[in-house]
Amino acid sequence: MKQPIHAGIDVSAATLDVAIERGRGAVWTGSFQNTAAGHQRLIRALSKQGRVVRVCLEATGVYHLDAALAMRERGIEVMVANPRATKDFARAQMQRSKTDQTDARSLLEFVRRMEFQVWEPPPREILELRALSRHLAALATMRAQEKNRRHAIDQVAGLGDPVREAIEEHIEYLDGAIRELQAKALEVVASSPVLEVAFAHLVSVKGIAAASALAILAELAVLPQDMSAREWVAHAGLDPRRHESGTSVKGPVRISKVGNRHLRRALYMPTIVAVQHEPRIKALYEKLLLRGKKPMQANVAVMRKLLHAIHGMLRNDQHFDGERFFATEA
């Protein structure tokens, strides 16, 4: 049996920097986008020699998750290493420089020398819930587009009924598909005591109904248990980003949007509804407006605060507490 090929992958939110051994001491290095298409190109690069491939990458929040899943599905053996272990290894190797490529090479050397420990992905029900939730979001987008088309047709006199009828049929089909998938997602939640409890905590917030709770839970359930609330915010791309250059350029503070767009989208509408119906959330929103925040800025700030609150609710096994969220003055 041929010896396996080893590879090290340095993971970031946007890219995957890889170092692959090619025999006789040669190492090939390259960079791929951390996207579904990038993962497929990476897999082709790893599989060129037609031999067993063993890959090592670091646990980096969830930035490594989709890449690891894609490689695992294609028969590539994956080890997800503890960042502290790989850092200590690099220090022992007296690695002086630190770039994405040197980190990838260090991970390659790590997987060559250390005992290979096969990575176990999140439980099946969590991955199934995330797949269902993301497909539900895609269907909801399609339905909104069809409703917009129907509205546009209604504004133009003289158009025949066939197009409108076709749109109505498609909307009806999408409604049915969404109901069916939501029911399946609720079954998945009910099958897991952990997911069921977390779901109950989420819907305790006025503004988070079942559909939104499914979408939020699907994105949060895959996150490592030791992530902090601030790390959740950064993962969602809700962390503030300043744009400054020298002494003259001082742009407005905006959210980074470098993160999980699915989680941002799942939080947006519940926040809008909660501002209307949850007294303490509404009080925070109004206070932000009084401070000079624009409505969109206030909504984003409330989203960030709500994500902090959800982190505390799930970690402490508690329902939403408005007093904890925002204590109004007596």
Are 131 and 107 in the same domain? no
Report, as an integer, the average pLDDT of 108-126: 90
Are 276 and 306 in the same domain? yes
Residue 85 has pLDDT above 50, yes or no: yes
Are 98 and 199 in the same domain? no
Residue/partner pairs of 129-132 with CB below 8 Å, 24 or more apart: 129/185, 129/188, 129/189, 129/195, 129/214, 129/217, 129/218, 129/221, 130/218, 130/219, 130/221, 130/222, 132/181, 132/184, 132/185, 132/188, 132/214, 132/218
Are 178 and 245 in the same domain? no
**Confidence band for 121, pLDDT divided at 50, 70 and 90:** confident
Termini Cα distance of the chain = 75
Tokens of 17: 């920097």
Q: Residue 14 belongs to a domain with what CATH number?
A: 3.30.420.40
Domain extent for 308: 194-330
Are 179 and 200 in the same domain? no
Are 224 and 329 in the same domain? yes
pLDDT, one tens digit per residue, over 131-155 is 999 999 999 999 999 999 988 888 8
Q: What is the DSSP letter of 54?
A: E
Whether 30 and 16 have beta carbons less than 8 Å apart is answered as no
Are 206 and 328 in the same domain? yes
pLDDT, one tens digit per residue, over 147-196 is 999 888 888 766 667 888 899 999 999 999 999 999 999 999 999 999 99
Are 315 and 203 in the same domain? yes
Are 264 and 252 in the same domain? yes
* 183/189 Cα distance (integer angstroms): 10
**Confidence band for 95, pLDDT divided at 50, 70 and 90:** low
pLDDT, one tens digit per residue, over 231-286 is 899 888 887 764 444 444 444 556 655 678 899 999 999 999 999 999 999 999 99
Among 191, 222, 249, residue at a domain's last position? 191
Are 198 and 325 in the same domain? yes
Domain count, the chain: 3
Among 80, 113, 146, residue at a domain's last position? 113
pLDDT of residue 231: 85
Report, as an integer, the average pLDDT of 221-228: 85
Are 152 and 205 in the same domain? no
Among 113, 135, 153, residue at a domain's last position? 113
Q: Mean pLDDT in the chain? A: 87
* 69/188 Cα distance (integer angstroms): 20
Are 286 and 169 in the same domain? no
